[in-house]
């Protein structure tokens, strides 16, 4: 069973975390919400507070199949300035562990030069931060270990892509049908 850690920083975009997390849970993933600062209560960008399962210090990186970086403001900024988050991204990139980012969050990967020469999706206002990536204009992109998406409106497609990558296309298609997404 894949273990997927969602890194929640203060000001994260709620839908970009919770929709993919829900879809992955339905597929059978071990989904863990990890608070990146303070306690377990993490306020989202729109005033919805989510209770995380663990703090980032409790995260077991040897168990990671994927890390997910939700966007939102100031959530993305808070992720980007967190040394532990950056270490987890580097750890994952070095070991071929999937790294998923949506909306503004791909800008963190762009700043780290991890998307150079790769196909990527990002919220348009942050495209300049991925200057060496090929921004395709698609809602969701999957290139090697990187899964990126444009924004909140792509949260379902992002979640289905994560399910496809971790469980296969049949599971993703089954979830599309059972959730009445089609």
User: What does the buried/exposed string (b/e) look like for 34-72 if buried means 16 or more CB atoms within 10 Å of the residue's CB?
Assistant: bbbbeeeebbbbeeeebebeeebeebeeeebbbbbbbbb
Per-residue pLDDT band for 72 (boundaries 50, 70, 90) equals very high
The token pair that represents 80 in the structure block: 């980007």
pLDDT tens string 134-167:
999 999 999 999 999 999 999 999 999 999 999 9
What's the confidence (pLDDT) of residue 169? 97
Tell me how many domains the chain contains. 1
Tokens at residue 38, please? 């303070």
Read off the CATH number of the domain in which 103 is found: 3.40.50.880
Q: Which is higher by pLDDT, 146 or 182?
A: 146
User: Domain range for residue 51?
Assistant: 3-178
Please, are residues 147 and 158 in contact by the beta-carbon 8 Å criterion? Answer: yes
CB 158 within 8 A of CB 20: yes
Residue (of 165, 168, 154, 141) closest to 4 by Cα position: 165
Taking residues 92-112, report their average pLDDT. 98
Q: What is the pLDDT of residue 182?
A: 74
pTM for the whole structure: 0.97
Cα–Cα distance measured from residue 147 to residue 139, given in angstroms and rounded to the nearest whole number:
11
Looking at residue 170, its pLDDT comes to 97
Give the closest residue to 71 by CA, choosing from 179, 158, 162, 3.
158
Rounded mean pLDDT, 80-88:
98
């Amino acid at each position: 069973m894949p273990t997927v850690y969602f890194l929640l920083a203060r000001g994260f975009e709620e839908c970009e975390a919770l929709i993919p997390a829900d879809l992955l849970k339905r597929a059978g993933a071990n989904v863990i919400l990890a608070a990146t600062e303070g306690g377990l209560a993490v306020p989202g960008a729109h005033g919805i507070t989510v209770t995380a399962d663990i703090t980032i210090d409790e995260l077991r990186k040897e168990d990671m199949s994927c890390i997910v970086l939700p966007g939102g403001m100031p959530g993305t900024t808070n992720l980007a300035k967190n040394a532990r988050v950056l270490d987890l991204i580097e750890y994952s990139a070095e070991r071929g562990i999937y790294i998923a980012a949506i909306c503004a969050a791909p800008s963190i990967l762009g700043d780290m030069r991890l998307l150079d020469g790769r196909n990527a999706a990002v919220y348009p206002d942050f495209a300049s931060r991925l200057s060496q990536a090929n921004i395709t204009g698609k809602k969701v992109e999957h290139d090697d270990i990187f899964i990126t998406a444009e924004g909140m409106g792509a949260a379902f497609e992002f979640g289905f892509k994560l399910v496809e990558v971790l469980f296969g296309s049949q599971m993703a298609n089954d979830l599309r049908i059972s959730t009445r997404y089609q």
